[in-house]
Chain A
Amino acid sequence: MNLDDLVSTNGEWLRGSGPEADIVISSRIRLARNLADFPFISKTTESDRAEIERILHSQIQAIQEAGKAPGDALYLNVTDLAEVDRQFLVERQLISREHAESDGARSVVIDTDERYSVMINEEDHLRIQVMHSGLDLEAALQRINMLDDLIEEQVNYAFSDKLGYLTACPTNVGTGLRVSVMLHLPALVITRQIEKVFKSLQKINLAVRGLYGEGSQATGDFYQISNQVTLGQTEEGLAKKVADVVPVLISYERQAREFLIHESQETLHDRVSRAFGILRTAQTISSEETLHLLSSVRMGINLGLIGDLPIPTINKLLIHTQPAHLQKLSGNELDAADRNIERATYLRQHLNVDGTSDPSNN
């Protein structure tokens, strides 16, 4: 298996199953860890980074070869990857944008079923992340603890009894744990309640980010909710805090959807049908518009307004219509204008599957 094989597959977190999968896309947990006998990344030399990479890579490989971690792993040297490949991994949420764009020796180990990935030499020496489809934080926490324990048997993590796991940035110190749940909240956006919800979340120290994390404008009504605090609470406590608020958000979103159906079913049905119509017929379309329209269609499917289209198909289109994915799928380097044409073609092909021919070809 190599990177190109990932292009046509659909990772675990896009499976569209799991608890509450109509609203909760995925649950993710990441841990930040550092080796005790090396400086943090900002004070490493090029040879330090190469040495850290070698040590961690070989330990993870040994764990893999001993059959202790689930499934097969793909090892990628990020430094050597083409820009489009790095971008592809970011879109797939297997590496962070920072990892894609920084310098020096760095790599990633990816479970080929995309249930976990391990970044080496990101902001910290080690960033382990686990992702599950739907709302499934307990299982995700269990899996990441197992991976962490396996690696910890082999190396010495920087740790103090007072401050816990020591990280390059003081915002991650302690547990090094970031729990995040990606939610699809279109009805809260339409009813203009979303801002209010976010402010309430901030008050209880939870962060809200867009689809692609840090600083990204949330587009297409997809939002990630995560903890800010990492010190002074247990891992279970931190996960529980996020896990407890998610059902509340789900029930708000469901209420808002019911309200929309009740108050103005025609308007909602019209909105969803138009979105579907554009996606099935457009000849050129931006990724932003695609995200917005797919969001409407996704809600329409969940409300039974559009039949016969599985949610995993929509989840896949959300990712496959991103710039690097399109280029990997088409096998060509494309500029923005060509991507918009390619994107529209791809959407028409995948959304006109009910036996009728592509209406735009007539």
Chain B
Amino acid sequence: MKCQRCERPATFHITDLVDGEPNELHLCEECAQTYLTPTEEEAAEVMPAMAGLLAQHLAVGESADDLKRLDQRACPVCGITFLEFRKQGRLGCPHDYTFFAEELEPLLMNIHDDTQHIGKSPKCGAAGADQQTQIIRLRREMKEAVATESYERASELRDEIRALEEQFRKDNG
């Protein structure tokens, strides 16, 4: 068999995936080498890291002041700032998906090409997401109260948390 790109005999038989469909190529060693060596553009085409992704979409249409303001926004439940998230690529609590929804939307679109879940969902329903985030917030407040030696406030918070946890168990029992 002759090489598809020159007159030499084809010794490389390459099957390429084009949109998931196999596409056969028969090439000599030299042409195969050229074909298989990634161009610079192709080499750069690796999944960009989260930070890069964020930087990309944040840079568009946002002034430095806007960015600064955005970075300082903190989730009222877990306290994570957007800057912290940008640095570590990990969110602090489930509520962040609501609190930073606007900022996360283009990121999710970039990663998943979609922003709506259509897979499995919990059989018993996702009961009381608000209650749950409230528990997270109260626990954090209690910790802060203990740290500042506001023990009275801490014990109030503890009772509140217990009541919520109790109610929670009943709802799901």
Q: Contact partner of A232 among B91, B98, B116, B172, CB < 8 A?
A: B116
In the complex, chain B residues whose CB is within 8 Å of the CB of A228: 47, 111
In the complex, chain B residues whose CB is within 8 Å of the CB of A162: 115-117
Q: A164-B117, A201-B17 are in contact. Are A36 and B94 (CB under 8 A)?
A: yes
B129 touches A36 (CB 8 A): yes
Name the residue on B nearest A236 (C-beta). Answer: B119
B52 shortest CB reach to chain A, Å? 13
Question: Does B148 count as interface, using CB distance less than 8 angstroms?
Answer: no
Question: Does B58 count as interface, using CB distance less than 8 angstroms?
Answer: no
Q: Within the assembled complex, what's the spacing in Å between the Cα atoms of A163 and B108?
A: 10
B116 touches A193 (CB 8 A): no
Question: Does B154 count as interface, using CB distance less than 8 angstroms?
Answer: no
A175 touches B119 (CB 8 A): yes
Question: Does A212 count as interface, using CB distance less than 8 angstroms?
Answer: no
A169 touches B116 (CB 8 A): no
Q: Contact partner of B90 among A42, A152, A164, A196, CB < 8 A?
A: A42
Question: Does A354 count as interface, using CB distance less than 8 angstroms?
Answer: no
Q: What count of chain B residues pass the 8 Å CB interface test?
A: 64
Q: Within the assembled complex, what's the spacing in Å between the Cα atoms of A169 and B88?
A: 9
Q: A159-B122, A159-B126, A169-B50 are in contact. Are A248 and B97 (CB under 8 A)?
A: no
Within 8 A of B (CB), among A191-218: 191-193, 195-197, 199-205, 207
Q: A37-B132, A152-B123, A202-B45 are in contact. Are A193 and B115 (CB under 8 A)?
A: no
A39 touches B93 (CB 8 A): yes
Contact with A along B1-32 (1 / 0, CB 8 A): 00000000001111111111010000000001
Interface centre among B11, B47, B122, B127 (most CB of A within 10 A): B122
B143 touches A171 (CB 8 A): no
Within 8 A of B (CB), among A52-83: none
A156-B168, A163-B108, A192-B33 known, 5 other contacts, Cβ within 8 Å: A38-B93, A158-B94, A162-B115, A170-B50, A259-B13
In the complex, chain A residues whose CB is within 8 Å of the CB of B143: 45
Within 8 A of B (CB), among A156-189: 156-166, 168-171, 173-175, 177
In the complex, chain A residues whose CB is within 8 Å of the CB of B91: 40, 42, 168-170
Q: Within the assembled complex, what's the spacing in Å between the Cα atoms of A329 and B158?
A: 50
Q: Within the assembled complex, what's the spacing in Å between the Cα atoms of A105 and B18?
A: 47
Question: Does A302 count as interface, using CB distance less than 8 angstroms?
Answer: no
Question: Does A145 count as interface, using CB distance less than 8 angstroms?
Answer: yes
Question: Does B61 count as interface, using CB distance less than 8 angstroms?
Answer: no
Question: Does A245 count as interface, using CB distance less than 8 angstroms?
Answer: yes
In the complex, chain A residues whose CB is within 8 Å of the CB of B88: 42
Q: Within the assembled complex, what's the spacing in Å between the Cα atoms of A76 and B106?
A: 40
A229 touches B111 (CB 8 A): yes
Instruction: Jot down 8 A-B pairs with beta carbons below 8 A, ordered by A.
Output: A152-B122, A163-B108, A195-B38, A196-B16, A204-B17, A229-B113, A232-B118, A263-B11
In the complex, chain A residues whose CB is within 8 Å of the CB of B46: 202
- Show the binding face of B for A, using Cβ within 8 Å: 11-20, 22, 32-33, 35-36, 38, 42, 45-47, 50, 77-80, 88-94, 97-98, 104, 107-108, 111-124, 126-127, 129, 132-133, 135-136, 139-140, 143, 165, 168, 172
A174 touches B16 (CB 8 A): no
In the complex, chain A residues whose CB is within 8 Å of the CB of B117: 160-165, 173-175, 231-232
Q: Within the assembled complex, what's the spacing in Å between the Cα atoms of A245 and B89?
A: 30
Q: Within the assembled complex, what's the spacing in Å between the Cα atoms of A263 and B47?
A: 37
Q: Within the assembled complex, what's the spacing in Å between the Cα atoms of A80 and B115?
A: 40
B116 touches A43 (CB 8 A): no
In the complex, chain A residues whose CB is within 8 Å of the CB of B112: 173-174, 229-232
Q: Within the assembled complex, what's the spacing in Å between the Cα atoms of A191 and B27?
A: 12
Q: Within the assembled complex, what's the spacing in Å between the Cα atoms of A149 and B11?
A: 53
Question: Does A9 count as interface, using CB distance less than 8 angstroms?
Answer: no
B103 shortest CB reach to chain A, Å? 10
A121 shortest CB reach to chain B, Å? 13
In the complex, chain A residues whose CB is within 8 Å of the CB of B121: 159, 161, 164
